[in-house]
Amino acid sequence: MPWRPDKTIPRATRLRDAIDAKAKKWADVVKIGRTHLEDATPLTVGQEWSGYAGALDDAIAHVTQATQGMLQLAMGGTAVGTGLNSPAGFGEDVAKTLARLTGDPLRHRHDTNSRRKARWIGWCGPMAPSRTLPSLCSRSPTTCAGWARAQGRGCMS
């Protein structure tokens, strides 16, 4: 059975709400917690469970954001996503057809290059892993090094 965010998110929200209700119910129940240094510290069961509810809030927000990105299709009609030599409206037509066939709210992403470039910016920027990428980034002008040179940036420098 495929994963469905339209079912998962509401279910996770119900779980979060149930946990939050327990956190409120147990707000006065004191227990002993342990710090990282193994000190015994009093806290309430409600405080502990409110942390679980907060973690689910974060997870739901991440899933929601990721889902929105997955519903955007970068269909340029060519291997490099520019739309060169593809019929007008190709990306929009593909997104509409796939949305109709799957029942998902898929849509065409008009800036088809942003996804590809964003990936390389992460690899070529100051946080790039310096020992793992030099061979990957120097293989062809269309990979990271070529893109970085075209942008006037160094890759793995």
CA proximity to 72, closest of 116, 112, 122: 112
d(CA 27, CA 48): 9
What are 21-53's pLDDT values in tens digits? 999 999 999 999 988 888 899 999 999 999 999
* pLDDT, position 81: 66
The answer to whether residue 122 scores a pLDDT higher than 90 is: no
Model confidence, pTM: 0.57
> Hey, which bits of 54-118 come out as E strands?
72-73, 107-108
Q: Report the amino acid identity of residue 52.
A: Y
